[in-house]
Every structure is written in structure tokens, then in C-alpha cells.
């Protein structure tokens, strides 16, 4: 089988296993794996991204931040390029949430092209989830604050992929 396809399928299977006990925060508590799968689909279908390492990094993007997965584990299984992209999109959970959010804004423009694509898709997927099925305890003010913050992060990612940047703008506009 084509090596790119094997990489992508292996990343999907690995992420599904790592996130198997996690749920999203929406009212239906959607299985967590739907989120990385959404990123990969946005990149491939809407962004026209054909780089299998970027798609694999999207599938794996929350494994280090949100599960016990280590970067060494990713590097051994998926290679240094994929592991480095995941590292670039992983927040340091030792820092307070407000600091992490501020650092996402400050660091966005300095990411590699692949990491910028993953971050764009992440923000698109999150805005669409908030519009379609918001966390039960989020009011309009909280949604608006999230859209504003995501827009500040995406400002540093622009110039990477016009279709994805337009998709983000559409998702932000849909949330008012």
C-alpha cells in the first residue's frame, strides 16, 4: 500500500486509541476523535493539502497535550517531521490557561508552514463545533470571546492557505 496512506491510517488509529476515553465538551459529549478527524478532513477537502505528514500531524495534534502520549513516542512511530509539527501546536500545560492563550497569539506567525495549516484547521473546526453544538454552559459572551481570541491567533497564520483562511472567516461570521 502507498506509504502516505499507511502513515495517515496509522495516525488515525493511534489517535483513536489515545483519545478513546475522552469526549468533546458539546452537549452530546461527542467522541474526542471526531475532532482530529475533522481537522484532517478540512485540510484535505477544503485546504487542498496533500502532504501526508501534515494530515498525520493534524490527526495527532492533541495527543501530547491531552493524553499521556510523549513526543518521543510520536517520533519513533511517525518520524521527526510529524513529531516536530505536533510539538509546535502543543501548549505547555504547566502554564496557566490565560498565558497559554496569549502565547498562541504571540507564537502563531513564527510557526512552520505545516504547523500553521494544522492550527488554521483547528480553529475552523472549533468555531464550527461552537456554532453547531456549543458546550452546554457557554453563553453568547463566552462564544464571542472565543471567536475574538481565535481571530487574533489566525491573524498570525494568514498568508498560508487562502481557502482555509476564508473558511475561518466564514465560520467566525456565522457565529456573529
Task: State the residues that interact with Zn ion by CB under 5 A.
Answer: 62, 122
Pairwise CA distance, residues 165 & 95, whole Å: 28
Q: Rounded to an integer, what is the distance from CA 126 to the centroid of its chain? A: 8
Q: For residue 24, what is its C-alpha cell? A: 468533546
Q: For residue 41, what is its C-alpha cell? A: 478532513
* Pair 54, 43: CB distance under 8 Å: yes
Q: Which is nearer to Zn ion, 53 or 62 (CB)?
A: 62
Question: Shortest Cβ distance from residue 75 to Zn ion (Å)?
Answer: 20
Active site residue 66: yes
Pairwise CA distance, residues 146 & 17, whole Å: 29
Upper half-sphere CA count for residue 86 (Cβ side, 13 Å): 30
Active site residue 10: no
Q: Which is nearer to Zn ion, 53 or 122 (CB)?
A: 122
Question: Shortest Cβ distance from residue 35 to Zn ion (Å)?
Answer: 6
Q: Which is nearer to Zn ion, 22 or 102 (CB)?
A: 22
Q: For residue 106, what is its C-alpha cell? A: 504571540
Greatest alpha-carbon pair distance for the chain in Å reads 49
Active-site residue among 26, 51, 65, 73? 65
Active-site residue among 66, 75, 91, 152? 66
Select the residue whose beta carbon is closest to Zn ion and give its number.
Answer: 122
Q: Which is nearer to Zn ion, 5 or 95 (CB)?
A: 95
Question: Shortest Cβ distance from residue 32 to Zn ion (Å)?
Answer: 9
Question: Shortest Cβ distance from residue 2 to Zn ion (Å)?
Answer: 27
Among positive and negative, which fits the CA dihedral 79, 61, 47, 44?
positive
Question: Which residues does the annotation mark as catalytic?
Answer: 65-66
Amino acid at each position: 500500500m502507498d506509504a502516505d496512506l499507511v502513515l495517515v491510517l496509522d495516525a488515525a488509529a493511534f489517535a483513536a486509541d489515545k483519545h478513546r476515553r475522552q469526549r468533546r465538551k458539546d452537549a452530546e459529549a461527542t467522541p474526542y476523535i471526531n475532532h482530529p478527524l475533522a481537522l484532517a478532513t478540512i485540510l484535505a477537502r477544503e485546504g487542498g493539502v496533500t502532504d501526508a505528514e501534515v494530515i498525520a500531524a493534524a490527526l495527532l495534534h492533541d495527543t501530547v497535550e491531552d493524553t499521556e502520549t510523549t513526543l518521543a513516542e510520536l517520533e519513533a512511530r511517525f518520524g521527526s517531521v510529524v513529531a516536530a509539527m505536533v510539538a509546535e501546536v502543543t501548549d505547555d500545560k504547566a502554564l496557566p490557561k490565560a498565558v497559554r492563550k496569549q502565547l498562541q497569539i504571540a507564537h502563531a506567525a513564527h510557526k512552520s508552514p505545516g504547523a500553521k495549516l494544522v492550527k488554521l484547521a483547528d480553529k475552523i473546526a472549533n468555531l464550527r463545533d461552537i456554532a453547531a453544538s456549543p458546550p452546554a454552559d457557554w453563553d453568547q459572551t463566552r462564544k464571542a470571546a472565543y471567536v475574538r481570541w481565535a481571530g487574533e491567533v489566525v491573524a498570525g497564520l494568514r498568508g498560508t492557505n487562502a481557502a482555509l483562511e476564508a473558511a475561518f472567516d466564514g465560520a467566525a461570521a456565522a457565529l456573529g
